[in-house]
Amino acid sequence: MSLNPYSVNIIGLSNKAHQFDYQFGDEFFARYGKDLVEGGKFEAQVILNKHETFIEAEFSIKGQAALTCDRSLDTFDYPLATRQLVVFKYGQEEAELSDDVITITHETVSLDLGQFIYEFIGIEIPIKKLHPRFQEEENEESEDEDEFNGKLIYSSSTDDGNSDGEDDIDPRWEQLKKLK
């Protein structure tokens, strides 16, 4: 059985700040999962600041994620940098109070920092993965969608002889009003 290089023994840590540096690539994602990221090259710095009642963990992660384009299925490197803070509070039972506050017991021997690193990388991956050559095209499409969403469905022109000042309503809306 191989030991987890991303697991830190917290019982042996003194009450002060401790820095852990990691450099990892595809083997990391083979261990934690390739669901979100197929691979890449990353550097992570984790500073564990241990106190009597809690441990503050600051994660700084930067690198390149190997992603597959949703449009062309080409692989490309996606630059990524994130900084996250997690607080591990000592309590009676283990629980996740929020995204950044986790309760651990005094009997907890170690923390698997790799799982947190994997999740923080996953948070930074865009839902729509586009190769950089499609980015400009995508930006133009989203501007067109924003312009369309801003247009009114009904017209307020009065050139059809409607002199009572009411706006002309799209006939589809009239049909929907009749359904009430």
Residue 143 maps to a domain = no
Residue 58 maps to a domain = yes
Q: Which residue has the higher pLDDT, 88 or 175?
A: 88
Residue 124 maps to a domain = yes
Residue 45 maps to a domain = yes
pLDDT at 149: 56
Residue 21 maps to a domain = yes
- Cβ(83)–Cβ(124) under 8 Å? no
pLDDT at 118: 93
**Residue range(s) defining the domain that contains residue 58:** 7-130
pLDDT tens digit sequence for 3-49: 788 999 998 889 999 999 999 999 998 898 888 888 899 999 999 99
pLDDT tens digit sequence for 73-83: 999 999 999 99
Q: What is the rounded CA–CA span in Å between residue 65 and residue 44?
A: 13
Residue 107 maps to a domain = yes
- Cβ(79)–Cβ(64) under 8 Å? yes
Q: What would the two tokens of residue 142 be? A: 């989203």
User: If we measure between CA atoms, which residue out of 44, 115, 38, 114 comes closest to residue 77?
Assistant: 38
pLDDT at 156: 46
Is the Cα torsion angle 140, 142, 147, 148 positive or negative in sign? Answer: positive
Q: Which whole-number Å values give the CA distances from 92 to 23, 55, 57, 96, 104, in the listed order?
A: 34, 15, 20, 13, 8
Residue 81 maps to a domain = yes
Contacts of 9 (CB under 8 A, 6+ apart): 109, 110
Residue 141 maps to a domain = no
Dihedral angle of Cα 30, 33, 34, 35, to the nearest 10 degrees: 170
Strand arrangement, sheet containing 101-104: 17-24, 39-50, 54-68, 75-90, 101-104, 95-96
pLDDT tens digit sequence for 137-168: 766 665 555 555 555 444 444 444 444 545 67
Contacts of 45 (CB under 8 A, 6+ apart): 19, 20, 21, 22, 59, 60, 61
pLDDT at 169: 75
The count of structural domains within the chain is: 1
User: If we measure between CA atoms, which residue out of 120, 23, 11 comes closest to residue 55?
Assistant: 11
pLDDT at 176: 78
User: If we measure between CA atoms, which residue out of 117, 114, 53 comes closest to residue 88?
Assistant: 53
**pTM for this predicted structure:** 0.72
